[in-house]
Structure 1
């Protein structure tokens, strides 16, 4: 039902017998009760029988063929300010589709789905391929059934980044991923390049079942078996170039050797992998000659690992060594061969002197950013070092 003056029917929500008549040029009339003053159009008073006495007809008064905006503008209780505001909103141009698509792409998944219910225009925009280029499901612990629905009906072939969160040590139907689901994802999204998994049980998901288009693989708090990265020679492995492992205690030296010997890694980030030692770096280093970025945090490494890093990884442009409590001056000197190194992040402890760091600044020509941590330095001392090496930005964190 609608209002009188728009559809000629009873106004909704007014109750039995409380009916509105047509606009007569002076105000709204109804059978029972008197109109509140806020329900009268601006410029007139209300009589005892609910008929507005005098006053001009407001410009937004709806007629038999008026629009919803006009009905809202002339609706009882709106007031003169609402009429002006509605007119300004009607005169304001709508945002172009390209801008709305960019805004929708920044929204979380749940808000994107809600936006599709606003109107037909938003529904079409919410289904645009650009909106679903990057999808982050990690804030929600979804089920495999929900993920199947997204793969079949929502995720487009233009999907580039996918983040998901599962349940660690899950069993049966509670597992998020399966080989069949990954096969459907590979077929549905051939341009998927970045896959980020958090708290996902991968013990029953072979590594070779990962989409072949994935070049960036990020695993955090996941369960992986001992030989997960070891694939059959007859099966081509995923062409991973950027690997990030975070807080996976089961990741060890043989995992590092398997993944480095199969792929030409460009980026390697190991955080909280206490199973990686000097021997693992020594075995994997000959296969990491094309590596450009290396991050080692909370790894049990020392001088021997630094020696093989300096010997084989000569294409490094970024190197971060954090919480390496066994690193000494001898190991730090071993990276003087990294001529392409641009950024160096080090945690210095009692076994490494500041003089060795200054020597690195003298022999590394492209080093333009040095970040030191672990030891408290005086600002005056860091200021003097900065004056001697103006080409390098030196920062300090505790």
Structure 2
């Protein structure tokens, strides 16, 4: 019956599926496989092409219409060169982006390769130092004219991490891209004191030893109508040169990335904001000297911003964060590791505007340690369209905040709650803490942030040490609640987030089997991280695997209570697993590796480091057995903590 459906109908149905589901559907029959190869379904697929199985891959390329390709792990042999050229020849009609990152490709192969890709719009040459070492790249004018015709559609080029880039080679490279709009120069050696190499009135920059900012500036001035995006991450650009860049006549930047540019300060950002008012994406992460003045200029002048990242700008305070409400087109905002920001600034900047944040879909507040439950509750009301939310290391977040997330943000696809130590099973399940004695924790008290053993507490009970009877009573009540879940829909239960694809609950010490089994139930969940959740046992993990059959990445680092049987259950029930982290799981034995070898036919990355019950011999056997395995991390197998201490002495 399935094979009788028209291919057009099957293709349309597959357009609503994710990549993993599409791969499974393609195995139904040959007609469905043909439907999965439709160019419309390949537009967002990135393929990493290694050359260990060249013939097999080339046969499949005859049918695929790939648009994004990464060529990796190849040498300069004639066989490899032939495979590379054949690959691009087969996909030249549809290939739009090509990455040669960190490869040792030769100039001849590069020229021949690019000449066969006339539809390219993006090219990545980052880390290709062998191309630029000799300094003769593209010095043949015939080749330049040929490539200029083939590269007529390229709008983005990545020249990051190049040690041997010079003014001369830069001019030759950019000359073959007549429509270039974005240049990425992250971590590339740029000399900003060009006066040491050129006279003041110089108009031609052709130094073959260094790459100067003056050369780049001249190129931008000559192509000012086209240039829309620049990336100077981890370079020594300073306020003076940023002001010069911003002041180039008729330059209208839409994207600027300055990650880790420690010489950039308030003055440079101020000049940028006043002169480049059309910026849509700005990333100043890790610019440690920036203060409220910089963010104030951003919110005042860059009202068209759609994406803003100011993470690790640790001198920002509430006064500037409160002005974020002026960015009424913002879609992505990253304030992680801004330690001085409190709920006052977040409430004013993100929650007080009527419709100022209607477009916001990505929000990162990780390591904003002063963020509390009140802020999260109001954020969920003010930002109902969030798809990506990171609240990692928000120690004051309590169960009520998690209840509001579960019941309100139904569009969430990514949720990170790692190191939220005040969250409990009740928060996962959606129940209120009635009749339970709060767990005593002087760092993250559940009593309004105050420690219950001090005179500041408003409760007559100063301190009550949990007893076995009290703990058993609590677990019995939770079991009763779990029974209720089978017949009642709890809107505050975490499983209400049906669109969730990635969930991180790592290092939440109060989570146990009871809460995880009752709340982590997602048919579409792809990534689950439960590192350092010590309350997770083998039986709980088995049930989680049953409730989440679509898992592709599972991290269980330092979950010391899981056993071989639970690994067998996970690997047999989650057939799509490609990433598995079992490091520091001390109860595992070589039997667990046998189960992985039997059940995981798609596993690509496995970490079994520091598992004292596993032997190197069993790891060797698994590595030889699993053909799909690319990475196997196996540090200090079979060594106990005591043994490690003895070695270090």
If the length of structure 2 is used for normalisation, what is the TM-score? 0.40
Give 3-state SS (helix, strand or coil) of 2:258's partner.
strand
**Corresponding position: 1:192 with 2:167:** no
Could you say which residue in structure 2 is the equivalent of 1:334?
Answer: 348
Aligned pair in 2 of structure 1 residues 123, 332: CA closer, same or farther (>3 Å)?
closer
**1:159 corresponds to:** 154
Q: What CA deviation, in whole Å up to 9, does each residue of 1:36-60 have, x standing for no partner? A: xxxxxxxxxxxxxxxxxxxxxxxxx
Comparing 230-239 with 346-355, which one deviates more in the overlay? 230-239
> Which residue, 320, 344, 358 being the options, matches 2:377?
358
Instruction: Tell me the distance in 1 between the aligned counterparts of 2:321 and 2:385.
Output: 19
Mean alpha-carbon deviation: is it higher for 204-213 or for 106-115?
A: 106-115
SS, match of residue 373 in structure 1: coil
For the residue of structure 1 that corresponds to 2:319, the secondary structure is helix
The partner residue of 1:118 within 82, 96, 99 is 82
Alpha-carbon spacing, 1:279–1:349, altered in 2? closer, same or farther (3 Å): same
1:96–1:344: structure 2 CA closer, same or farther, 3 Å change rule? closer
Unaligned runs of 5+ in 2: 1-54, 90-112, 195-212, 420-649
Q: Tell me if the contact between 2:265 and 2:289 (Cα under 8 Å) persists in the aligned partners.
A: yes
Deviates more, 1:264-273 or 1:151-160: 151-160
Question: Structure 1, residues 301-344: CA drift from partner, whole Å, max 9, x if none?
Answer: 1112212222x312112111011010011111122223322222
Tell which deviates more after alignment, 144-153 or 182-191: 144-153
**CA separation in 2, counterparts of 1:96 and 1:363?**
47
- The Cα shift of 1:239 comes to 3.0
3-state SS of paired residue (2:335)? strand
Match status 1:375 vs 2:394: yes
Distance in 2 separating the partners of 1:247 and 1:233: 19
> How large is the RMSD of aligned CA atoms in angstroms?
3.8
1:188-207 Cα deviation digits (max 9, x unpaired): 31222331112221413134
Partner of 2:404: 385
1:209 aligns with 2:230: no
Q: Is the 8 A contact 1:167 1:199 kept in 2?
A: yes
Q: How far is 1:261 from its partner?
A: 2.6
Deviations 1:322-381 (A, max 9, x none): 110100111111222233222221125443222122112223344444321222478955
1:267 partnered with 2:281: yes
Higher relative contact order (CA closer than 8 Å, sequence separation 6+): 1
Please, which of 309, 316, 329 is the counterpart of residue 301 of structure 1?
Answer: 316
Matched residue of 2:381: which SS? helix
Equivalent-residue separation in structure 2 for 1:100 and 1:366 (angstroms): 34
Q: 1:62-112 CA distances to partner (integer Å, 9 max, x unpaired)?
A: xxxxxxxxxxxxxxxxxxxxxxxxxxx9xxx96777858868x53259769
What count of residue pairs does the alignment treat as equivalent?
Answer: 298
CA distance in 2, matches of 1:116, 1:101: 20
Question: Who wins on radius of gyration, i.e. which is larger?
Answer: 1
Secondary structure at 2:347 match in 1: helix
- Cα distance, 1:376–1:123 mapped onto 2, change above 3 Å: closer
- Match for residue 145 of structure 1 among 135, 142, 152: 135
Structure holding more strand per residue: 1
Tell whether 2:406 aligns with 1:396. no
Cα distance between partner residues in 1 of 2:76 and 2:67: 12
Partner of 1:67: none
Q: Secondary structure at the match of 1:271?
A: coil
Match of 1:9 in 2: none
Does structure 2 conserve the Cα–Cα contact (< 8 Å) formed by 1:220 and 1:246?
Answer: yes
What SS is found at the alignment partner of 1:265?
A: coil
- Partners in 2 of 1:388 and 1:95 — Cα distance? 45
Deviations 1:121-142 (A, max 9, x none): 8499332234754322222233
* 1:157/1:185 CA distance change after superposition, 3 Å: farther
In the TM superposition, 1:34-183 aligns within 5 A as 99=64, 105-108=69-72, 117-118=81-82, 122=86, 125=89, 126=113, 127-130=115-118, 133-141=121-129, 142-143=132-133, 145-149=135-139, 153=144, 154=147, 156-166=151-161, 176-178=165-167
The 3 A distance-change label for structure 1 pair 230 and 120 is closer
Flag the 1:136–1:330 CA change in 2: closer, same or farther, 3 A: same
1:298 Cα shift?
A: 0.8
User: Is the 8 Å Cα contact of residues 253 and 279 (structure 1) preserved in structure 2?
Assistant: yes
